[in-house]
Structure 1
Amino acid sequence: MRSDSTRFRIDPTPRRADGEFMAHARISTNRPDGSQYDIYSSGDLAAFELREDAIVYAENWAKQWLDARFG
């Protein structure tokens, strides 16, 4: 990611549904006063059998999303 990675936080925690892990990403940053707010929440991106695969997919997706907008 070319954008300042310290500016943004990616939460790639998947949710469990129907025996699969649903990848999604929540992207947040801080306001000047230090409070956190969400920039974007992706919704479900893809389903995976392994939790780790869902996390990697969501992280990569979020980095591409940030690059397209702030890169």
Structure 2
Amino acid sequence: MNLIETSFGIDPTPRRADGEYMAHAKITTPAVDGQEARIIMSGDLAGFNEREDAIVYARTWAREWIDDFVRKGAIRNV
């Protein structure tokens, strides 16, 4: 992970539904050039029996999303 990626916020807190933990991620982009930070919600990614498994899955998904976002040049001069 590079400096750009560490400036993003990731909240991988799962929600409890039907006896399992639903992995999802809330990503906050850095504010750039006077623009406000954006919040991206993943939606439900997958269900897990263990809370920690859902957190790891969501955090991994978010990091991959950020890598792709940065690679596409969506964030400049951060």
Question: What CA RMSD, in Å, does the superposition of the two structures yield over aligned residues?
Answer: 1.9
Q: SS of the residue aligned with 1:31?
A: coil
Compare CA radii of gyration and give the structure with the larger one: 2
Identity over aligned residues, as a percent?
55
User: Which AA in structure 2 matches 1:49?
Assistant: N
Identify the structure with bigger relative contact order (alpha carbons < 8 Å, sequence gap 6+): 1
Bigger mean CA deviation after superposition, 6-15 or 44-53? 6-15
Q: Which residue number in structure 2 is paired with residue 53 of structure 1?
A: 53
SS in 2 for 1:65: helix
For 2:21 and 2:62, the matched residues in 1 are separated by 17
Structure having the larger proportion of residues in strand: 1
C-alpha contact (below 8 Å) 1:3/1:70 kept by paired residues? no
Offset at residue 24 of structure 1 (A): 0.1
Asked if the contact 2:12/2:25 (under 8 Å) is kept, the reply is yes
The number of residue pairs the alignment matches comes to: 69
> Structure 2: which 5+ residue stretches go unaligned?
72-78
